[in-house]
A and B are shown apart, each in its own frame.
Chain A
Amino acid sequence: QVHLQESGPGLVKPSQTLYVTCTVSGGSVSSGEYYWSWIRQSPGKGLEWIGYIHYTGGTYYNPFLKSRISMSMDTSKNQFSLRLTSVTAADTAVYYCARADNWKPTWFDPWGQGTLVTVSS
């Protein structure tokens, strides 16, 4: 059974860069059939899809965040990561990683437990 686990800094200062990592166990990020995704949820709010990375290195980012996002993958560690630059308080959220089925996702499963990142000075 595939399990995803996020790790992050907890606190980031405004204008700095947020970096969170997802470690996959019970499966391989090199599996070509899946797309490894990031989704966030601001406190008390709904879900926002951030984007995904495929093991080939292909990525697709939410157009609303595209200018500040980059994603990477380390197959040797079975991990993938999200980098978000120039953060503001609006980027305070729980960041989830999840596995998607397609380049045009139709579902996300499973999800990690999430990591809360707070942007504050």
Chain B
Amino acid sequence: QSVLTQPPSVSAAPGQKVTISCSGSSSDIGNNYVSWYQQLPGTAPKLLIYDNNQRPSGIPDRFSGSKSGTSATLDITGLHTGDEADYYCGTWDSSRTISYVFGTGTKVTVL
């Protein structure tokens, strides 16, 4: 059912940067806010980014989000081993499913 496409996995060494893409369409990302969630192993998802690029209080500025057209991006800089997790984007789909949709998810591995 997911209409938002993410790479299955990305990896980098500690201290490096990873970029996770989230590709959608004009009916979802193109006309709605994007949020990002981090899911550490065995835990519930946690809000990382909302309204495309806003961080909730307590989220370090190593995490940043952006949106351009029908795609969104999550950047993680200064990678820590504690950042190993699954990351999901999400947004409202205004026409295809007319519901909230999540991305396919990306596993971040710290080498």
Seen from chain A, the residues whose Cβ lies within 8 Å of a Cβ on chain B are: 46-49, 51, 60, 62-64, 96, 104-114
A47 / chain B contacts, CB cutoff of 8 Å: 37, 45, 88, 90, 102, 105
Instruction: Name the 10 nearest CB pairs between A and B, nearest first.
Output: A109-B47, A107-B50, A49-B100, A47-B102, A106-B33, A111-B44, A107-B35, A46-B105, A62-B99, A104-B92
- What is the total number of residues of chain B having a CB less than 8 Å from a CB of chain A? 27
B101 with A49: CB separation less than 8 A: yes
B2 with A46: CB separation less than 8 A: yes
A46 to B, closest residue via Cβ: B105
A64 with B44: CB separation less than 8 A: no
Seen from chain B, the residues whose Cβ lies within 8 Å of a Cβ on chain A are: 1-2, 32-33, 35, 37, 43-47, 50-51, 56, 88, 90-92, 97-105
A106 with B51: CB separation less than 8 A: yes
A49 / chain B contacts, CB cutoff of 8 Å: 90, 99-102
A106 / chain B contacts, CB cutoff of 8 Å: 32-33, 35, 50-51, 91-92
CA–CA, A48 and B33, complex, Å = 18
Contacts A49-B99, A107-B47, A107-B51: A64 and B32 contacting too (C-beta < 8 A)?
no
B97 with A63: CB separation less than 8 A: yes
A111 / chain B contacts, CB cutoff of 8 Å: 44-46
